[in-house]
Amino acid sequence: MVQAVLFDLDGTLLNTLPDICKSVNEALKKFSYPPVTPEQTKAYVGDGARKLIERAVPAGAADTEACYEYFRTLFASSDNALTFPYEGEIALLKRLKAANVKLGIVTNKPQDAALRAVKSRLPEVEFDFIGGDTGDFPCKPDPSLARYAALTMRVFPEDCAFVGDGETDVKTARAAGMFSVACLWGYRTREQLEQAGATRFARDFSQLGELLFST
């Protein structure tokens, strides 16, 4: 059985899409850019806040950096009112903790926004590591933060599972030498994940538990 599980955050532990879309559109409105739809937002997320805004603003926009900075301020102070965990998630996380499995989060979400979201929406779960985008490590799919998480939790990378809903998560797990599980309840399709190299899938948290406890 694995000794630690690292999770992506957006689309994996929390459905944050409505709040992300809301903050993006508030930032776009401030700079007189057209809004994006939830489906567009879903396609744009996964590679960090800066890439999200670069994809959301019109091509050739002059205020991309200012829009990004404004979005970060908005997002960091979000009340996460539209964000929620997935069915069966809390029960599995508590079961893993009871089995002495360490739990971590490795996300491309800005660190301050990640901490706020976890505190407000997963207060009953004790995570051993929460790592977001601070500028100290490259964003996923670079494996540096995932490996640092394993080091911090005193677990070898090969004894860690990495669970995520995006192409970047599949690539991060492979590069870090971790047991990869691609979840199908998030923001990418099975076909997209397969194209990124995923070979192991979980349709829900019940199936994820079966995979983790049989490893």
Catalytic residue ranges: 8
Q: Decide: helix, strand or coil at residue 5.
A: strand
- List the structure tokens of 39: 């489906």
List of residues 6+ apart from 123 with CB closer than 8 A: none
- Give the closest residue to 88 by CA, choosing from 208, 4, 215: 208
- List the structure tokens of 160: 């860690």
Compute the Cα dihedral for 14, 10, 170, 177 and give only its sign. negative
Asked if residues 2 and 158 have their Cβ atoms less than 8 Å apart, the reply is no
